Amino acid sequence: MKKRQICVVTGSRAEYGLLFWLMRRIHDADDLELQLVVTGMHLSPEFGLTYRQIEEDGFTILKKVEMLISSDTPSAIAKSMGLGMMGFADVYEHLNPDVVLMLGDRFELLAAASAALVARIPIAHIHGGESTEGAFDEAIRHSITKMAHLHFTATKIYRQRVIQLGEHPDRVFNVGAPGLEYIQRIEFLSKEDLQESIGLRLKPQNLLVTWHPVTLGPKETREGLQALLIALDELQETGLIFTKANADTEGRLINQIISNYVAERPEKSVAHSSLGQVRYLSALKYVDGVVGNSSSGIIEAPSLHVGTVDIGTRQHGRIRAPSVIACEATKTSISNALMRLFSTEFEAELKETINPYGSGNISESIVEVLQTFPLDGIVKKSFYDLPVLAEEKD
């Protein structure tokens, strides 16, 4: 019997970490064949050439799609998307996959999905139905949902939202967040090995800090980061581990500000373009909290009973555990949130945290669908209408 060829597209370090165990399970399945395509930041020296880590992990990269332009302006991002569509058109024609699998909401994936759509290749999408009101990622995510044919969501509410977008319930599967499986399977670094690896001796208190562009609110991107850094400067005996921004609009501006900050405070801070999944999750295990506006503080951190200070509007709309402290992107609000994060009362509450994004063998659930769901005629979709509300019937 012919193996189903599953083309997995990855364009960033974070998304690759979430896909790792799923890719491993696809690779090991007798009836599936993994076709791995890398693009975006994986191929950029500026962002660490992280495709090398993928190869070190034992995966064979079949195709590379160069698409990033060395600029982070809106014009450059749009041009990168155009290059990506052309590159993926050639890749799909050569590989002829049965399914294209992608996770998330980055612009690289919009290019990959658009090319697959017109090539009439079924798309399987992970992490649909979510809301991030401060970034245009939300529109990209919902756009990929409408182009996709199989959906794997992280919560029941997100599954309902995908159905609300007109996707048939039989094609929408609530499996949980794939990143949580990595936490279950990981062999964490020791504290000593982590310190040596990142180049920083941990302090009595430590924070993992990530700041990404607020693409629908550029003023918040700059002013919010400055407010955060001022608030961090007030902390005593606190180590700071920065992970730099992705290749998004104004991402390079953020990274330069962070680099300057760390250069002036080498005794208490360090910055990395890419920690990789093992170092990142190991750092998460040993720090006192996650600070910034990254989804990892909302989705992964609660599983390790680590508190999060989620700043500003970028992640507005996401379902969150009680361990996530929301605050405005102002110095006073951030300082107040940090005070709560370090309080003994909050530390006690963390022990009772239950992650709303699930647990278990998430990759197994996804692979089972990829193995068994009928693909004949799958690219023809009908809009699934929800029952009309009583007050709207007239």
Which domain CATH number covers 327? 3.40.50.2000
If asked whether residues 140 and 251 sit together in one domain, one would say no
pLDDT digits 0-9 by tens, 299-343:
999 999 999 999 999 999 899 999 999 999 999 999 999 999 999
135, pLDDT greater than 60: yes
User: What are the pLDDT digits (tens) for 4-22?
Assistant: 999 999 998 888 989 999 9
Task: Answer yes or no: do 344 and 369 share one domain.
Answer: no
Do the domain assignments include residue 181? Answer: no
Tell me: the pLDDT tens digits for 21-38? 999 999 999 999 999 999
Q: What is the pTM of this model?
A: 0.89
Average pLDDT over every residue of 96-106: 96
Report the distance separating Cα 348 and Cα 120, nearest Å.
52
Question: 57-61, 74-78, 106-110, 230-234 — which is least confidently predicted?
Answer: 74-78
Tens digits of per-residue pLDDT, 47-56? 788 899 999 9
* Domain ranges, residue 79: 4-176+361-392
Overall number of domains in the chain:
2
Q: Which residue has the tokens 């250069």?
A: 263
Q: Is the pLDDT of residue 248 over 90?
A: no
Span of 148-162, 247-261, 331-345 with lowest mean pLDDT: 247-261
Q: How confident is the model at residue 107 (pLDDT cuts 50, 70, 90)?
A: very high
183 within some domain: no
Instruction: Report how far residue 106's alpha carbon sits from residue 386's, in angstroms, rounded to the nearest whole number.
Output: 28
Residue with tokens 């530390």: 347
In whole angstroms, give the CA distance from residue 249 to residue 213: 7
For residues 153-175, give the mean pLDDT. 97
171 and 195 inside one domain: no
As a whole number, mean pLDDT of residues 246-275 equals 90
Q: Are residues 72 and 130 in the same domain?
A: yes
Mean pLDDT of 62-70: 93
Residues 169, 286 within the same domain: no
C-alpha of 254 from chain center: 18
Strand pairing category for 238-243 and 269-272:
parallel
Could you tell me if 245 and 325 lie in one domain? Answer: yes
